C-alpha cells in the first residue's frame, strides 16, 4: 500500500475541522500501514522467540558442560549427543538402584526371619513357646545361612 494520501483523501481532510482532520489522517495512516505494522509485529515476535530459544540453549549448554570461560561460548552442536549419553547413564543408574533396592528388600526379609527365630528362642527359654531344640536349631541354622548368603551375594 502507498504511504501517501490520495487526492480524494486530501480533499476530505481539507474540509474537516483541524482535530477531526488529524484524527481522520491518523486513522487513514493506521489503515494504510496495518500490513506493515503486522509484519513488524510478526518480526518482533520472531525475534523474541529466537532470543528465548537462544537463552534456553545457552542455559542447557552451561548446565551440561559447566560455566563458560571468559569471552568463550559453548557449542550447541554436540548437545543432542551429550543428552543421549546422560540419558543412558541415568537409565543405568536407575537399573543399579532398582537392583540394590531389591537386594536390600531380600536382605531385610532374611534378617527379619532370623530375628523371628531369635525371638522364638527367647520365648522357648521362658517357657512361652514349646518347640524341640532340634527343630529350633534347624530353623536358626537355616535363617542364619540365608542371611549370610544374602550378605555375601555380590550386587
Please state, in angstroms and rounded to a whole number, the distance separating the CA atoms of residues 29 and 35. 11
Q: Provide the pLDDT confidence category of residue 89 given band limits of 50, 70 and 90.
A: very high
Distance in Å from the first CA to the final CA of the chain: 76
Q: Give me Rg for the CA atoms of the chain.
A: 40
Q: Cβ distance 121 to 140 under 8 Å? A: yes
What is the chain's mean pLDDT, rounded?
A: 77
Segment 5-58, tens digit of pLDDT:
677 766 766 666 665 656 666 666 655 566 666 777 788 888 889 999 999 999
How many angstroms from the chain centroid is the CA of residue 35?
41
- Whether 102 shows a pLDDT value over 60: the answer reads yes
C-alpha cell at 66: 559447566
- Whether 64 shows a pLDDT value over 70: the answer reads yes
Model-level pTM? 0.48
- Whether 79 shows a pLDDT value over 50: the answer reads yes
Q: Cβ distance 39 to 24 under 8 Å? A: no
Q: Cβ distance 79 to 61 under 8 Å? A: yes
Torsion of CA 74, 75, 80, 84, to 10 degrees: -50
| Per-residue model confidence (pLDDT) at position 93 | 93
Amino acid at each position: 500500500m502507498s504511504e501517501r494520501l490520495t487526492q480524494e483523501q486530501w480533499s476530505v481532510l481539507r474540509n474537516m475541522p483541524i482535530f477531526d482532520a488529524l484524527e481522520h489522517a491518523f486513522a487513514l495512516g493506521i489503515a494504510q500501514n496495518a500490513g506493515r505494522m503486522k509484519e513488524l509485529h510478526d518480526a518482533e515476535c520472531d525475534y523474541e522467540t529466537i532470543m528465548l530459544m537462544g537463552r534456553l540453549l545457552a542455559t542447557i549448554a552451561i548446565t551440561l558442560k559447566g560455566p563458560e570461560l571468559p569471552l568463550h561460548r559453548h557449542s550447541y552442536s554436540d548437545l543432542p549427543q551429550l543428552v543421549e549419553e546422560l540419558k543412558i547413564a541415568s537409565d543405568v543408574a536407575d537399573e543399579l538402584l532398582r537392583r540394590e533396592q531389591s537386594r536390600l528388600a531380600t536382605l531385610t526379609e532374611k534378617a527379619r526371619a532370623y530375628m523371628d527365630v531369635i525371638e522364638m528362642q527367647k520365648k522357648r527359654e521362658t517357657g512361652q513357646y514349646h518347640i524341640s531344640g532340634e527343630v529350633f536349631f534347624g530353623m536358626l541354622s537355616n535363617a542364619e545361612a540365608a542371611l549370610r548368603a544374602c550378605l555375601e551375594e555380590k550386587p
